[in-house]
Structure 1
Amino acid sequence: MTFAPTPALSRRSLLGGAGLLGGGLLLRRWAHAAPVDPRLPALSALLDDYVGSGKLVGAVATLGWGTQAPEVVARGVGTRGDSRAVDENSLFRLYSMTKPITGMAAMMLIDEGKLKLDQPIADFLPGFAHMTVLADPAGPVDKVVPATAPITVRNLLTHTAGLGYTIVQTGPIRDAYAKAGIMPFETSRVPVPGFGETHTAPSLAAFADNLAQLPLVYQPGTRWSYSVGLDLMGRVIELASGQEFAAFLKARFFDPLGMDSTSFQLARADVPRFTTNYVVADGRLLPIDVAANSIFLDRPAFPFGGAGLISSPRDYDRFLAMLLNGGVFAGKRVMSQRAVDMGTSNLLPPDASTAGTWIAGHGFGAGGRVGLGDAAGTYGWSGAAGTIGFISKVGGVRAGFYAQFMPSTTYPFSEAFPQAVRSDVRARILAQHKVAA
C-alpha cells in the first residue's frame, strides 16, 4: 500500500489534538435539569452524513449531562464488510486522548504531596539536570547552548518542556529521536509512508534515559510545542509513586471507574469489539491496522502515556464524568476536587508563547486544552485517529466522538463535533423551557 502523504499527515496531525473547544457561552446557559427529549438531532445528522456517505465506516458520539449516563449515537460498523455494528462498547485507539489521563494521574500525585507542580524532574531523573538546547530548532544536534531553566513537572504537563516529537520536528533532531527510539506510539504492522518509523526504546526507563541524552528543541518554559512530555511524565509517575505506570493507572483510574475495556494492549477476546483504523487517501478509506491482526494485540515496548491507550466510548465517558463531577463517580471519590480543579485550569508558564500554535488563544492544563473567555470551564483533547473528548464544567456537559481514520484533519470534526454538541444542548434547553411553560 502506498500513497502520497500530505504535510499534515506526516507531521502534527498524526497524534495531535486539533481544535475542539469553544462556544462555552452557549453551554454556560445550561440549567443542569434532567433532559426531556432523548434525541440528539445534530449529532445524529453529523454521523448519518459521514457514515451514510461512506466517508467513515463507523462512528460513535456520546453526550452526557451532569452525573447521568450518556446518551449515545452510533452508526456503521467497526470494520468494513463486517456485520457487527459499533456501539458504546466498541474499542477505539485513543492516541493522544491518552494524555489527559496521564495528566490527571500526575495531578493525583501532586495533590498527595509526592510531586510538586514546579518541581524539577531531575529530582527523579538526574539525567535531565544539565540539558542543552538546539541553537536552531531545525539545525545540527551538535550546535547547542545550555538550558537556562530546569524542566519541571508543569512543563511536561503543558508541552512547554522544550522537548520534541517526531510528528512535529524536522531536520536532524527528528532523525536523532528516531534513532534513539523516541517513538512512543504504534500505528501499523506494515510501513506506512508519513507515519514514522517503528523503532521504539525497549522500556519506559530506557526511553527516559535516551531522551535525556538529546538536546532540547526550545528553552524550557518559553514556548508551547507539542511533544513527548506526557510519555516522559509516565516515567516520573513511576518513580514518584513507586508503582509501574500502567499498574498505577489501573489501580487509580480504571478499576475505580469501572473502565474495564481500557488498556495499553488489546486482549485477543476483545478483537470482535475492536475497530479497524483507516487512512484517507485520494478520497478512499484504506485499512492500515485491521482489527483482527492489529499491532495493538502485541505487548507494547512500554505504556505510552501520550498515545498508547485503547478504550471504549463507555469507558472514556466515565473518566470525563468523574472530572465533570469534581473527582467523584457513582458516589465514589476518585480524585480530590482540588486535583481536578488544578488539572483542568490553565497551567501554562506565564512566559510561554502560544503564538502560531494549535492552542493560540487558549490555555493548557494537565494534558488537555483549557478554554478561556467565553469557553471558560472547558477542558479536553483529541486523538490522531478521529477521537475527541471534552467537558464543560460551566455547562455541566461532557461529550465524546469516536471514529478511526487518519489523518484526523481530513474531516472537520474538530469544529463540526463541538458545533453539533452545542446545537443539541441548545435544542434541549428550548425543549425544557417549553415544558416548564
Structure 2
Amino acid sequence: MAYADFTEGAFSRRGMLKGSALVAAGGLFAGHPMGAALLAHDVSEDWPTVAAEVNKYLAEKKVANMFVTLGWRQEEHAHTIGGGTLAMGGSTKVDEDSLYRIYSMTKPVTGMMTMQLVSEGKLGLDQPLSDILPAFANMQVQKEYDGAITDDNLEPAKNPITIRHLLTHTAGLGYNIVQQGAIKDEYDRLGLVPGQVSRMPIPGVPNPVPAESLKLFADRLATVPLVHQPGTRWSYSVAMDLLGRVIEVVEGKPFDTVLQERIFGPAGMTSTYFTVPKSEVGRLTTNYAVFNGQIFPIDPAASSIYLDKPAFPYGGAGLVSSPYDYDRFLRMLLGMGEIDGTRVLSEAAVRVGTSNLLPSTVDLTGSWIEGEGFGAGGRVKDNAFGWGGAAGTAAFVDFKHKLRAQLFTQYMPSEAYPIQGSFPDYVRKDLAAA
C-alpha cells in the first residue's frame, strides 16, 4: 500500500496548503472530559515499525511531537504511539485532545458532505456545476498548461465541469500552490487563496489577500481559465473549496454551519474548528518550518492565525482538529456512516464516496495518484481511503482490515521528512507481521 503521495509539495508554494510522550491517564485530559474515558494504552510493542520510526523522530528532536492513533472497527478506544510536547522546549504533553492544523485532511470531510447531498438527491455526481453556479457555464481553457492568459492561448471547454470532477480534482481548475506564471499570478491577484499558514511574513512566499467570502471566491474563480479540459487530467486544485460554495447554495446555509450541523455535531466531533476558540489555545500545537535540517516556529499557538476567523471556511485546507475528533470521523466511515448508534451519513454516501470515482476519460500519467484511484477528496487503493495535510498529518481507513490509522505532527513542508508518505507502509508492514 504505497501512499507516498500523501506528501504535498514544496514549502515555497505547494507545501503551504497541501498536501499532516504518553503520560498517566489522570493528567491527559484535564479540562477536556470528552476524551478522558477513551484513552487507550500505548501499543508500541504491537506496531514495532511504526513505533521505531516515531520514537526516532522524537529522540532526534526533529519535531516537537508525533502522535499516532490506531483503532479497530468501531471500537471506541484508539490505541496510541508516540508523544512529545505542544511546542519545542515546552512542558505540556500532547494527547488525543491536542489541536493540530490538518490542512488537506479537510478535503475528505468536504467530500463526504458532498456525497451525502448526492445520496439525498440534492446533487448528482455527473450533474453540471453550472446547474448550481451558472457562472461556470462557459469556461475557457488554456491550450498551453500554465501558459499565457491571452486569446491565442485559450479555447472553450469541451465538456461541462461536473460534481464528480470537483470531487476527484479532474475539473481542470488550478491551485495557486501548484500553478506557475500568469495563471498563478491571476489566482493571487483575485485572492483565490484557500488557506492560511501564519500571521508573520515568510521570506520568499507571497501573501495575497484572500477573497472575503465563499461567494466572492467562486464568482472570481469562474472568471479564470481552466488549466486542463474538464475530465482529462488529475490536477490538484481548489475544487474542494469550490464545493464548499456548492454545498452552501444547495443547503441554503453557510458552509461551516452545514458541516457543524450535518457532520461535526452528529459525529461528536467537538474539537474540530475553522477558528480555534481562544479558550482552547492551551491545547493548540505550534507549527514549524524545516529549513536546512533546522526547525523554526512559523505559527506559535499563542499568536496563531487560526485564532482569527478566516476570510471564508476553506473546504480544502481549513480545519484544525484533534486526534480524538478525526478518529471519530474515521470510525464513522468504518461504520458506513454510523457511529455510536447515530446515523451521520448514509451508507450509500460512504460506500460510493470511498470508492474510485475517477472518470474513465482521465489520464493519470505523471500525477500523484498514477496507478491508483480517487474518491470524494481522498486516495483510494487496496480497500483503503485517506489523505494527508501540509503540516505532516495523515489519516486513512482500511476497510479490508477494519483499521483506522492517523499520524499527527506539525511541520512544513510535509516532504521535508519522509514519515508522512511512509506512514501507511509502516502500518501495513506491522499489520502483515502480526
Question: Does structure 1 residue 279 correspond to structure 2 residue 289?
Answer: yes
Q: CA RMSD in A?
A: 1.7
Partner of 2:122: 114
Give me the whole-angstrom Cα distance separating, in 1, the residues matched to 2:205 and 2:314. 17
Q: Which amino acid aligns with 1:162?
A: G
TM-score by length of 1: 0.89
Partner of 1:390: 396
Partner of 2:411: 405
Go from structure 1 to structure 2 and tell me whether the alpha carbon gap of 1:309 and 1:195 turns closer, same or farther (over 3 Å shift). farther
Q: Is the 8 A contact 2:100 2:321 kept in 1?
A: yes
Partner of 2:357: 347
Secondary structure at 1:168's aligned position in 2?
coil
Go from structure 1 to structure 2 and tell me whether the alpha carbon gap of 1:194 and 1:307 turns closer, same or farther (over 3 Å shift). farther
Q: Is the 8 A contact 1:275 1:404 kept in 2?
A: yes
Match of 2:195 among 180, 185, 191: 185
Partner of 1:61: 68
Q: Is the 8 A contact 1:265 1:299 kept in 2?
A: yes
Secondary structure at 2:416's aligned position in 1?
coil
* Alpha-carbon distance, 1:332 to partner: 1.4
Partner of 1:320: 330
Go from structure 1 to structure 2 and tell me whether the alpha carbon gap of 1:17 and 1:370 turns closer, same or farther (over 3 Å shift). farther
TM-score by length of 2: 0.90
Give me the whole-angstrom Cα distance separating, in 2, the residues matched to 1:126 and 1:253. 28
Give me the whole-angstrom Cα distance separating, in 1, the residues matched to 2:84 and 2:311. 33
Q: Deviations over 1:323-371 (max 9, x none)?
A: 1121110121111111101000111111111110110111100000111
* Alpha-carbon distance, 1:420 to partner: 2.4
Question: How is 1:239-250 mapped onto 2 (pairs within 5 angstroms)?
Answer: 239-250=249-260
Q: Which amino acid aligns with 1:134?
A: Q
Q: Is the 8 A contact 1:74 1:87 kept in 2?
A: no
Partner of 2:84: 76
Give me the whole-angstrom Cα distance separating, in 2, the residues matched to 1:398 and 1:46. 19
Question: Does structure 1 residue 47 correspond to structure 2 residue 54?
Answer: yes
Question: Does structure 1 residue 297 correspond to structure 2 residue 307?
Answer: yes
Q: Is the 8 A contact 1:186 1:198 kept in 2?
A: no
Go from structure 1 to structure 2 and tell me whether the alpha carbon gap of 1:338 and 1:165 turns closer, same or farther (over 3 Å shift). same
Question: Does structure 1 residue 260 correspond to structure 2 residue 267?
Answer: no
* Alpha-carbon distance, 1:73 to partner: 1.7
* Alpha-carbon distance, 1:134 to partner: 1.1
* Alpha-carbon distance, 1:161 to partner: 0.6
Q: Deviations over 1:353-402 (max 9, x none)?
A: 1110110111100000111xxx2x11000000000000110111010001
Q: Is the 8 A contact 2:55 2:82 kept in 1?
A: no
Q: Which amino acid aligns with 2:105?
A: M
Partner of 1:3: none
Give me the whole-angstrom Cα distance separating, in 2, the residues matched to 1:38 and 1:8. 32
Question: Does structure 1 residue 134 correspond to structure 2 residue 136?
Answer: no
Give me the whole-angstrom Cα distance separating, in 2, the residues matched to 1:130 and 1:194. 36
Partner of 2:105: 97
Give me the whole-angstrom Cα distance separating, in 2, the residues matched to 1:196 and 1:70. 40
Partner of 2:26: none
* Alpha-carbon distance, 1:37 to partner: 6.9
Gaps of 5+ in 2: 1-8, 21-40
Q: Is the 8 A contact 1:165 1:226 kept in 2?
A: yes
Give me the whole-angstrom Cα distance separating, in 2, the residues matched to 1:38 and 1:11. 35
Give me the whole-angstrom Cα distance separating, in 2, the residues matched to 1:62 and 1:311. 14
Give me the whole-angstrom Cα distance separating, in 2, the residues matched to 1:113 and 1:37. 43
Give me the whole-angstrom Cα distance separating, in 2, the residues matched to 1:88 and 1:73. 11
Give me the whole-angstrom Cα distance separating, in 1, the residues matched to 2:19 and 2:202. 21
Secondary structure at 1:209's aligned position in 2?
helix
Partner of 1:434: none
* Alpha-carbon distance, 1:16 to partner: 2.7
Give me the whole-angstrom Cα distance separating, in 2, the residues matched to 1:72 and 1:393. 20
Choose 384-393 or 192-201, whichever is displaced more. 192-201
Q: Is the 8 A contact 2:393 2:420 kept in 1?
A: no
Q: Is the 8 A contact 1:98 1:305 kept in 2?
A: yes
Q: Is the 8 A contact 2:275 2:307 kept in 1?
A: yes
* Alpha-carbon distance, 1:38 to partner: 7.6
Q: Is the 8 A contact 1:276 1:290 kept in 2?
A: yes
Q: Which amino acid aligns with 2:56?
A: D
Give me the whole-angstrom Cα distance separating, in 1, the residues matched to 2:412 and 2:420. 13
Q: Is the 8 A contact 2:19 2:103 kept in 1?
A: no
Partner of 2:424: 418
Q: Which amino acid aligns with 1:378?
A: A
Give me the whole-angstrom Cα distance separating, in 2, the residues matched to 1:310 and 1:196. 23
Partner of 1:29: none
* Alpha-carbon distance, 1:36 to partner: 13
* Alpha-carbon distance, 1:74 to partner: 3.1
Q: Is the 8 A contact 1:14 1:195 kept in 2?
A: no
Q: Is the 8 A contact 2:338 2:344 kept in 1?
A: yes
Q: Which amino acid aligns with 1:48?
A: N
Question: Does structure 1 residue 162 correspond to structure 2 residue 168?
Answer: no
Secondary structure at 1:296's aligned position in 2?
helix
Q: Is the 8 A contact 1:9 1:194 kept in 2?
A: no
Q: Which amino acid aligns with 2:159?
A: A
Question: How is 1:199-238 mapped onto 2 (pairs within 5 angstroms)?
Answer: 199-238=209-248
Q: Is the 8 A contact 2:43 2:79 kept in 1?
A: no
